[in-house]
Amino acid sequence: MSSKTFNNVIEGMGGAILLGVHLVLGPILRPWRIKWGATDDEIRRTLPGDELVPQPQWSYTQAITIRASATEVWPWLVQIGQGRGGFYSYEWLENLVGCDTPPAQRGPHHPRVSEPPSRR
């Protein structure tokens, strides 16, 4: 077995263990997980797309704070995805769901992008 295959197996086992932990601890972790990183104001705020499902059975609002302008962040956001820079997750997981993102596509690159969205 090659070291890359071995590492992928170990990485996959680690992911499976984490999944199992979350399934077992789900009811305990849920209150924290559904609003991870979001302030109370962000949780109450109406977001684009909310009108598509006016009465959802459940929802998650998760957030992070980025101390940079939209102009600085936008090039990093638009490179995420299939055929671009990848999804910045585990390669084996991306390939498992059919993304097939080769390692050569990973890493920051600066495609020509449109202007970042204006702040509201």
| Residue 81 pLDDT | 77
Statement: the pTM of the whole predicted model exceeds 0.85: no
Q: Is 86 helix (H, G, I), strand (E, B) or coil?
A: strand
Instruction: For the chain, state the CA radius of gyration.
Output: 18
8 Å CB contact between 78 and 113 = yes
Residue with tokens 């006016």: 54
Domain layout of the chain by residue ranges: 66-120
| Residue 120 pLDDT | 46
pLDDT digits (tens, 9 = 90+) for 15-65: 899 889 888 998 898 888 889 899 999 899 998 899 999 899 988 899 988
Residue 113 tokens read as 């992008």
pLDDT at 114 over 60: no
pLDDT at 112 over 70: no
